[in-house]
């Protein structure tokens, strides 16, 4: 990979331009990071009002698999990435015929399918030291019956669709064989995995960035709190997890990235389970081949954000080891914040929130607030963990955010 330097012009007179498939908030923050370095940017996204399309130099308004749109993106850009894993892997494969694409179509394809993802985790467990929860694949009635007959130890469990499940969607908790059969029918009989429910004590995630040369840098693990399957609070500070457990999580995430030959920013999510050992057990849950909601705090609390590293990795620039300069708590802002208890639209009390010390508000430019829709996030930084927690609790109270008892 020959580095693509910001501000450079190629032999055809083309300004150094980085492209992204997808126009959501992750694409928007990627565009901001690329532009700050001096790159031009191009976004391929069908939504005319997309958050990333609003701020990019070029917005190609086509479907992700539109051949003309992909050809235009390849013509404009020197390297291309994706901002979410559910873009067609074939589109990335097409782009890779003429341009560097990071992460690769093959890796994104694995992340798009829970069956392949879990097989990958199991395959590299000997190296990473961490495996996934016990599970069974259900694609046919025969496999469903086999689970009911021979793998009753997987119940209670969570039935998850193999594809297109995120933020708690495509998931059903089941306690009995009858509930499992009903849930599979409710999900349309599509390919699924049944995952054994484990006694969780916490959830965490690790963000790493891996370059074309195999060099890896990473952030310390974040401890996450989910409400109804959606991330509500991220704790990012020293002491948020036992040190030995944090080290294991970090090493496992790096091993997974190496096993994939990954290039770009990768988030690996883990469950912490009670298993009687000194630090509890660690189980890998899933991976996201992109920057992640739990890493948004890096914009305000670190000298290099996850989006800065995404730009560096895809462009072949050196990967600096990021340093966190402030403890931080990130609060997710869903569309529910814009509605009062009667269901009427209201403007959140930003004046009071922004009067609090160390608050950093990020809204994503989405024009319509809806319940459950990610509209923005608020990061709180400060000189010490105690002050950060105090401010974060007050901000959560002002905005009536869930997860207050977890701050």
The C-alpha atoms of residue 1 and residue 355 are separated, in whole angstroms, by 46
Alpha helices in 96-164 (DSSP H): 105-111, 114-123, 125-128, 141-150
Model pLDDT for residues 284-296, shown as the tens digit of each residue: 999 999 999 999 9
Residue 160 annotated in ligand binding? yes
Residue 279 has pLDDT above 60, yes or no: no
> At residue 166, does pLDDT exceed 70?
no
What average pLDDT does this structure show over 162-181? 85
What CATH number matches the domain at 17-101, 3.40.50.300, 3.40.50.20, 3.40.50.970, 3.90.1150.10? 3.40.50.20
pLDDT at 276: 54
3-state secondary structure of 210: strand
Q: Any binding-site annotation on 83? A: no
Strand partners, 226: 231
Helix, strand, coil percent values for the chain (each to nearest 5): 35, 25, 40
Q: What distance in Å separates the CA atoms of residue 237 and residue 328, rounded to the nearest whole number?
A: 6
**Binding site annotation covers 168?**
yes
Please give the residue that has the higher pLDDT: either 291 or 1: 291
- Which residues, at least 6 apart from 78, have a Cβ–Cβ distance to it below 8 Å? 4, 10, 14, 16, 17, 18, 99, 100, 315
Helix (H, G, I), strand (E, B) or coil at 100: coil
| 336 annotated binding-site participant | no
Two tokens, residue 334? 């869903």
Inform me whether the pLDDT recorded for 402 exceeds 70: yes
Model confidence over 194-207: pLDDT tens digits?
Answer: 999 988 899 999 99
- Give 69-124 pLDDT, tens digit per residue: 999 999 999 999 999 988 999 999 999 999 999 999 999 999 999 999 999 998 88
Q: How many whole angstroms separate alpha carbon 244 and alpha carbon 231?
A: 24
Residues 286 and 271: their CA atoms lie apart, in Å, by: 10
393 in a labelled binding site: no
Is residue 343 helix, strand or coil? Answer: coil
Q: Known binder of ligand: residue 169?
A: yes
The superfamily CATH assigns to domain 200-401 is ATP-grasp fold, B domain (3.30.470.20)
The ranges assigned to domains in the chain are 17-101, 134-196, 200-401
- Range list of H helices, 155-212: 177-186
* Annotated binding-site residue? 197: yes
Does 203 count as an annotated binding residue? yes
226 is in an annotated binding site: yes
| CATH domain 134-196 topology | Dna Ligase; domain 1 (3.30.1490)
Is 165 marked as a binding-site residue?
A: yes
Summary mean pLDDT of the chain? 93
Beta strands in 229-340 (DSSP E): 230-236, 264-273, 281-288, 328-334
- Determine what percent of the chain is predicted with pLDDT higher than 90: 83
pLDDT-derived band at 280, boundaries 50, 70, 90: low
Structure tokens at 380: 């709180």
Alpha helices in 62-176 (DSSP H): 67-76, 89-95, 105-111, 114-123, 125-128, 141-150
pLDDT attached to residue 167: 62
Annotated binding residue 340: no
Residues paired with 245 in a beta bridge: none
- 3-class DSSP state of 3: coil
Question: Would you state the torsion angle of the CA atoms of residues 157, 162, 164, 166, taken in this order, to the nearest 10 degrees?
Answer: 30
Average pLDDT score over residue span 46-61: 97
Mutual orientation of helices 25-37 and 306-315 as an angle, nearest 10°?
70
> Can you give the pLDDT at residue 56?
98
Model confidence at 128, pLDDT cuts 50, 70, 90, reads: confident
Rounded to 5 degrees, what are φ and ψ at 133?
A: -65, 150
d(CA 188, CA 184): 7
285 is annotated as contributing to ligand binding? yes
CB 91 within 8 A of CB 64: yes
What single-letter DSSP state applies at residue 220?
Answer: P
Asked if the model's pLDDT at residue 368 lies above 90, the reply is: yes
């Amino acid at each position: 990979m020959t580095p693509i330097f910001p501000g450079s012009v190629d032999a055809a007179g083309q300004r150094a331009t980085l492209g992204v498939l997808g126009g959501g908030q992750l694409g928007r923050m990627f565009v901001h990071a690329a532009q700050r370095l001096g790159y031009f940017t191009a976004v391929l996204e069908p939504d005319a009002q997309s958050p990333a399309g609003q701020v990019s130099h070029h917005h190609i308004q086509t479907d992700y698999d539109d051949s003309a749109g992909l050809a235009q993106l390849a013509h404009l850009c020197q390297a291309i990435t994706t901002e979410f894993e559910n873009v067609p892997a074939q589109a990335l494969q097409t782009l890779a015929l003429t341009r560097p694409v990071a992460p690769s179509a093959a890796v994104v394809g694995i992340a798009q399918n829970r069956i392949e993802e879990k097989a990958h985790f199991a395959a590299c467990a000997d190296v990473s030291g961490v495996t996934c929860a016990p599970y069974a694949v259900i694609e046919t009635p025969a496999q469903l019956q086999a689970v009911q007959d021979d793998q009753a130890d997987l119940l209670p469990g969570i039935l998850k669709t193999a594809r297109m499940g995120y933020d708690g969607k495509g998931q059903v908790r089941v306690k009995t064989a009858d509930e499992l059969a009903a849930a599979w029918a409710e999900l349309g009989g599509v390919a699924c995995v049944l995952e054994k429910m484990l006694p969780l004590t916490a959830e965490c995630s690790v963000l790493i960035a891996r370059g074309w040369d195999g060099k890896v840098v990473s952030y310390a693990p974040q401890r996450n709190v989910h409400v109804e399957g959606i991330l509500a609070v991220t704790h990012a500070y020293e002491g948020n997890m036992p040190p030995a457990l944090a080290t294991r999580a970090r090493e496992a995430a790096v091993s997974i990235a190496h096993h994939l030959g990954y290039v770009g920013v990768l988030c690996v999510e883990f469950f912490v389970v009670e298993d009687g050992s000194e630090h509890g057990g660690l189980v890998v849950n899933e991976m996201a081949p992109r920057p992640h909601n739990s890493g948004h705090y890096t914009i305000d609390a670190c000298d290099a954000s996850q989006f800065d590293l995404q730009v560096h990795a895809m462009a072949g620039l050196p990967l600096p080891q990021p340093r966190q300069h402030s403890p931080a708590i990130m609060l997710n802002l869903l569309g529910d914040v814009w509605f009062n208890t009667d269901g009427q639209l209201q403007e959140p009390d930003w004046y009071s929130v922004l009067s609090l010390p160390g608050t950093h508000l990020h809204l994503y430019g989405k024009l319509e607030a809806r319940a459950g829709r990610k509209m923005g996030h608020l990061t709180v930084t400060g000189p010490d963990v105690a002050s950060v927690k105090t401010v974060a609790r007050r901000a959560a109270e002002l905005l009536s955010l869930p997860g207050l008892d977890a701050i």
